Homo-oligomer: A and B are copies of this chain.
Amino acid sequence: MVATRLDPIDRKILSELQADGRMTNVELAKRVGISAPPCLRRVRTLEESGLIKGYHAEVDSRELGFEVQVFAMVGLDSQAEAELSRFEERCRSWPLVRECHMLNGEVDFMLKCVAPDLSSFQSFLTEELLTAPNVSSVKTSLVIRCAKDDPGVPFEVLEERLSRSA
């Protein structure tokens, strides 16, 4: 990891931008305690180094008409690398699938899906996911409500850890 090259100011920048990605550079500079130009240079460096992978607006999915959120646990018949990749590629092509994680243990993949309503998810499930090649089992769990949905990483933990090792 490249994080060791980051000084406390860089980490503060990342933390602030994770919390509010549209903060002006002036405001950001004020918060991290340096002037605007070096602050912008640091942000650009963080972007170019790939530590900042992008910026996104967080939208209200329910209000936008996506009432249904589902976790799908998928088991495959073959776990050969070629088959794994094929399944991942398929997931990337399904818009309803927002996340696809390969897991250890009995279940091979965890998918997070979003759909306008139950019936559209059902048809995705039966017509796409269950009929996809190599898929042996799918267990789905509907999200009843969401208590927490924080993006990114807990910088507090990082700081705590660094202060201990210092």
What distance in Å separates the Cβ of A88 from its nearest Cβ neighbour in chain B?
4
Q: Is A56 interfacial (CB 8 A cutoff)?
A: yes
User: What is the interface of chain A mostly: helix, strand, loop, or mixed?
Assistant: mixed
What distance in Å separates the Cβ of A9 from its nearest Cβ neighbour in chain B?
15
Chain A residues with CB under 8 Å of chain B are 1-3, 14, 17-22, 50-67, 69, 71, 88, 91-92, 95-105, 107, 109-110, 114-116, 120, 141-154, 156-158, 161
CB pair A55–B55 under 8 Å, yes or no, is: yes
What distance in Å separates the Cβ of A163 from its nearest Cβ neighbour in chain B?
13
* A151 to B59 CA separation, bound complex (whole angstroms): 9
Q: Which residues of B are found within 8 Å of A2, using beta-carbon distances? A: 63
Known: A20-B54, A51-B59, A52-B59. 14 other contacts (CB 8 A): A52-B60, A55-B55, A66-B158, A69-B101, A95-B157, A96-B157, A98-B154, A99-B146, A100-B147, A102-B143, A102-B146, A104-B142, A116-B158, A120-B161
